[in-house]
Amino acid sequence: MSRDTNSEIPLIAILRGVTPQTILDVASVLVEAGFTKLEVPLNSPNAIESIRMLVKEFGTESFELGAGTVTRLDLAEQVLETGANLVVTPNCNIEVIKTAVDAGCVTYPGVVTPTEAFNAVHAGATNLKLFPISMVGVSGMSAMKSVLPSNIDLFPVGGIDATIDSMSPYLNKGAKGFGLGSQLYTPFMTVSEVGQKAKAFVKTYNNIIAQ
């Protein structure tokens, strides 16, 4: 499945539990490894401040920086006020999707059924977060992709490891990329450990798409 390995790496770093004290150090090793999509879930400590720091440090011209676990419209509005350009949700909230899209944000609404997927698409989303992917699986994702518009990109999330066995089945069936949580980052990891894991994910992804 040959693609350009020099193009943007479609892996979303989900930094659940990161703090304003550690966000820039963690983000720096991720960016060094090739990540351009960084998500701070809103149930992290002082998440809005961490997002604001990311936007100030890296800017949004070449990066997707913003929030995950955006479950309500008022939360989405707080995220937008930081200058963020990324909104990720665990569910299909039409108000949140439309607000984020209208603000020019890249959105990844969480879906597990065709109905949720089409509702998100009709609200303006062009990326769908299949979460938890354990409820969908490779065959479910493939079936969903066959009926969705061809411009819709699918991102499995939940339990993805930095191995060919974990990533390849989804990529071979049309997944665009992945959202990576605790397999990439937890607050208990050192910055060095996060950097090593980030490089492993990028290396595995590139090895698969170069085949």
What is 96-127 written as a DSSP string? Answer: HHHHHHHTT-EEE-EE-SHHHHHHHHHTT-SE
Joined together, the tokens standing for residue 206 give 């590139």
pLDDT (tens digit, 9 = 90+) per residue, 30-85?
999 999 999 999 999 999 999 999 999 999 999 999 999 999 999 999 999 999 99
145 as an active site residue: the answer is no
pLDDT (tens digit, 9 = 90+) per residue, 110-134?
999 999 999 999 999 999 999 999 9
Joined together, the tokens standing for residue 147 give 């009926």
Please say whether the beta carbons of 184 and 197 come within 8 A.
Answer: yes
The pTM assigned to this predicted structure is 0.96
Q: Which among 37, 39, 145, 197 is annotated as catalytic?
A: 39
- Report which residue type is found at 70: V
Q: Which among 37, 64, 129, 145 is annotated as catalytic?
A: 129
Return the closest-CA partner of residue 197 out of 5, 68, 11, 8.
11
32 as an active site residue: the answer is no
Give the CA angle between residues 181, 153, 1 to the nearest 5°. Answer: 90
Map out the domains of the chain with their CATH numbers: 9-209 (3.20.20.70)
Distance CA 202, CA 209 (A): 11
